């Protein structure tokens, strides 16, 4: 879990997680117009930013400036664009991007995603139907959407990748079929008639009704008579079968398989040879299909479940973990990484944890949430503050701690906080007109000799910052600290056994010996340029096969 603004965090993940995530799910704040603000200049405090952009007046009251100027969408899209661009870079080649969104921005977000991912990678716009708005004046509403994009849709097609989920509504059909076996014994045509009428009696929105074509019964259960012709022309599958009419493209199966199906009683023969044979497709053998593009799930259940877990209503409109878990099941696999950079209450993390034991997979997640204050103008925000939460991030973390405990099995997560950089950011050296060249160089060299890190920066935080920015270190890597000759060396070790060693103190040959620098090219060493002797770097660089990074104060020259 990472606390911080997601743009800053996504940029920090760019090295270690390029092409790493199988699935990115986001549920950004819906742009309801009057309350949406963002601030991508991390050096400007939010309050100052709001004032400077005219979104609050001098007394701190929110203004309706954006709405009255008819520019409601621009700030939201400007906020989203860079985040989506970096997010795409983090997806695997077979990766998938899902974004929940409502009517306010769905049309804009779709165009923006077309621009970022390419319209050819659009997969679908899923509609999530919830309860209708009881007081609606014009249309019932109550739905929102999930936009689905592939990082590379043609790659999915070339590799015949299929997304599968268990069909809804199977249970009641199996119960009915068992009841009919009991009632009719081997009179399968009577059982079939009753099964058909039962399907007809179901209301249209009943999920079992989508399987009404599985309406014929035999001793194995309910099946539907399926087409037995090949979907594409297959000359090798054109052969005689007991003199029945041969499909134009050929049969769906090879001769050996046809014999096997026949012996097993799975072929349905018509009453005349010029009609087509069919194959029995049993519901029990076809329990999965591609995820539905339109589905109904009442949102109140998710709110209720979260309230129960947290002991109070501290977050509005969380997404249902059941819906997310189904999508994760359909699209992702064992060991896959899932990212949600608008984490909210952390539903994505809980959904991953819930799904893993169901299908025996181990998926991992990374969640990002900024330390936003609960909105005390709402009852939920006041509840959150009364429960002792200072920020939404604290709610997210606590929710996941509680979920881990409830699910069991030793689940856990690391917490990172994105903070201002600990590296010294150099003001430009200004060379004045008339100043001699040597005076300018002296100025630059004086600046360059300054420490490359800020005074008082935490060494632990600096080690992580350097590791993330200068290498492809991931957040779950093991980190050890070694103290030697008055110096601390941070060693990050990745799953391939490669090490990144960071030392921000004076580094000596004694320290080098203590951490047993390897000459195999598997170690990268980061040192402070102002804390190591040139003589030592000259011996270290060849030993490390040039994997030696020196932190230096950067100086830029500006001539006026």
Ligand X SMILES: C[S@@+](CC[C@H](N)C(=O)[O-])C[C@H]1O[C@@H](n2cnc3c(N)ncnc32)[C@H](O)[C@@H]1O
User: Applying CB under 6 A, which residues contact ligand X?
Assistant: 5-6, 27-29, 315, 318-319, 342, 344-345, 347, 368-370, 372, 392
Write down the least CB distance from residue 340 to ligand X, Å.
Answer: 7
Nearest residue to 295 via CA among 266, 271, 264, 326: 326
Tell me the angle at which helices 106-117 and 73-89 cross, rounded to the nearest 10 degrees: 30
Q: Which is nearer to ligand X, 339 or 525 (CB)?
A: 339
Write down the least CB distance from residue 379 to ligand X, Å.
Answer: 17
Write down the least CB distance from residue 385 to ligand X, Å.
Answer: 15
Q: Which is nearer to ligand X, 260 or 372 (CB)?
A: 372
Write down the least CB distance from residue 358 to ligand X, Å.
Answer: 19
Neighbours of 133 (CB within 10 A): 11
The tokens of 118 are what?
A: 């390419």
Q: Which is nearer to ligand X, 211 or 319 (CB)?
A: 319
Pairing of strands 122-129, 143-150: antiparallel
Q: Is 500 exposed, middle or buried (0-12, 13-18, 19+ CB in 10 A)?
A: buried
Q: Which is nearer to ligand X, 98 or 502 (CB)?
A: 98
Q: Which is nearer to ligand X, 88 or 370 (CB)?
A: 370
Helix, strand, coil percentages, rounded to 5, for the chain: 35, 20, 45
CB 164 within 8 A of CB 331: no
SS3 for 524-545 is: EEEEEHHHCCHHHHHHHHHHCC
Q: Which is nearer to ligand X, 302 or 463 (CB)?
A: 302
Q: Which is nearer to ligand X, 319 or 528 (CB)?
A: 319
Write down the least CB distance from residue 313 to ligand X, Å.
Answer: 13
Instruction: Find the angle CA(272)-CA(277)-CA(282) to the nearest 5 degrees.
Output: 135
Tell me the angle at which helices 347-359 and 321-331 cross, rounded to the nearest 10 degrees: 50
* Three-class SS state of 91: strand
Write down the least CB distance from residue 386 to ligand X, Å.
Answer: 19
Write down the least CB distance from residue 539 to ligand X, Å.
Answer: 45
| Torsion sign, CA atoms 350, 353, 358, 362 | positive
Nearest residue to 344 via CA among 321, 363, 322: 321
The helix (run of H) or strand (run of E) holding residue 463 is: helix 459-470
Write down the least CB distance from residue 350 to ligand X, Å.
Answer: 9
Q: Which is nearer to ligand X, 347 or 383 (CB)?
A: 347
Q: In whole angstroms, how far apart are CA 42 and each of 38, 121, 136?
A: 10, 33, 41
Nearest residue to 310 via CA among 341, 345, 344: 345
Residue nearest ligand X, Cβ-based: 344
Write down the least CB distance from residue 436 to ligand X, Å.
Answer: 48
Written as one string, the DSSP assignment of 70-88 is T-SHHHHHHHHHHHHHHHH
Write down the least CB distance from residue 363 to ligand X, Å.
Answer: 17
Q: Which is nearer to ligand X, 99 or 180 (CB)?
A: 99
SS3 for 280-339 is: EEEHHHCCEECCCCEEECCCHHHHHHHHHHHCCCCCCCCCCHHHHHHHHHHHCCCCCEEE
Q: Which is nearer to ligand X, 319 or 329 (CB)?
A: 319
Q: Which is nearer to ligand X, 35 or 442 (CB)?
A: 35
Neighbours of 270 (CB within 10 A): 12
Q: Which is nearer to ligand X, 278 or 345 (CB)?
A: 345
CB 343 within 8 A of CB 372: no
Write down the least CB distance from residue 330 to ligand X, Å.
Answer: 18
Write down the least CB distance from residue 321 to ligand X, Å.
Answer: 8
């Amino acid at each position: 879990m990472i606390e911080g603004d997601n743009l800053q965090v996504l940029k920090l993940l760019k090295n270690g997680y390029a092409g790493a995530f199988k699935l990115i799910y986001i549920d950004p704040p819906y742009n309801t117009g009057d309350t949406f603000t963002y601030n991508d200049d991390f050096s400007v405090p939010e309050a100052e930013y709001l004032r400077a952009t005219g979104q609050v007046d001098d007394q701190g009251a929110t203004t309706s400036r954006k709405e009255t100027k008819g520019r409601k969408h621009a700030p939201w899209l400007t906020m989203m664009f860079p985040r989506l661009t970096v997010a795409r870079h983090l997806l695997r080649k077979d990766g998938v991007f899902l974004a929940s969104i409502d009517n306010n921005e769905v049309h804009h977000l779709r165009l923006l995603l077309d621009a970022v991912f390419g319209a050819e990678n659009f997969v679908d716009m899923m509609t999530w139907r919830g309860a209708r708005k009881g007081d609606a004046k014009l249309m019932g509403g109550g739905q929102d959407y999930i936009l689905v994009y592939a990082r590379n849709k043609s790659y999915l097609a070339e590799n015949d990748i299929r997304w599968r989920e268990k069909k809804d509504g199977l249970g009641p059909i199996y119960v009915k079929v068992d009841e009919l076996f009991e009632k009719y014994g081997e009179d399968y045509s009577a059982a079939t008639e009753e099964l058909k009428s039962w399907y007809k009696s179901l209301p249209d929105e009943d999920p079992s009704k989508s399987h009404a074509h599985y309406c014929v019964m035999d001793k194995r259960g309910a099946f539907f008579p399926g087409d037995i012709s090949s979907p594409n022309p297959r000359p090798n599958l054109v052969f005689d079968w007991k003199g029945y009419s041969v499909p134009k493209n050929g049969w769906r199966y090879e001769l050996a398989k046809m014999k096997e199906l026949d012996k097993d009683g799975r072929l349905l023969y018509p009453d005349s040879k010029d009609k087509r044979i069919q194959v029995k497709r049993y519901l029990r053998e076809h329990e999965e299909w591609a995820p539905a593009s339109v589905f109904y799930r009442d949102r109140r259940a998710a709110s209720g479940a979260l309230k129960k877990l947290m002991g109070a209503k501290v977050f509005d409109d969380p997404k249902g973990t059941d819906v997310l878990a189904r999508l994760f099941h359909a699209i992702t696999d064992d060991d896959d990484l899932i990212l949600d950079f608008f984490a909210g209450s952390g539903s994505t993390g809980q959904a991953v944890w819930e799904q893993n034991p169901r299908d025996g997979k181990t998926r991992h997640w990374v969640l990002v949430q900024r330390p936003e204050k609960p909105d005390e103008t709402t009852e939920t925000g006041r509840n959150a503050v009364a429960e002792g939460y200072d920020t939404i991030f604290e709610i997210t973390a606590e929710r996941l701690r509680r979920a881990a405990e409830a699910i069991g099995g030793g689940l856990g997560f690391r917490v990172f906080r994105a903070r201002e950089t600990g590296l010294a950011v150099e003001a430009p050296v200004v060379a004045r007109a008339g100043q001699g060249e040597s005076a300018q160089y002296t100025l630059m060299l004086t600046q360059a000799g300054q420490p490359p890190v800020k005074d008082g920066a935490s060494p632990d935080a600096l080690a992580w910052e350097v590791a993330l920015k200068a290498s492809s270190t991931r957040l779950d890597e093991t980190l050890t600290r070694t103290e030697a000759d008055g110096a601390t060396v941070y060693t990050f070790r990745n799953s391939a056994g490669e090490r990144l060693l960071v030392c921000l103190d004076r580094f000596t040959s004694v320290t080098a010996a203590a951490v047993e620098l390897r000459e195999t090219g598997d170690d990268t060493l980061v040192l402070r340029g102002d804390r190591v002797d040139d003589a030592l770097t000259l011996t270290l660089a060849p030993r490390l096969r040039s994997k030696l990074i020196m932190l230096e104060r950067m100086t830029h020259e500006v001539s006026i």
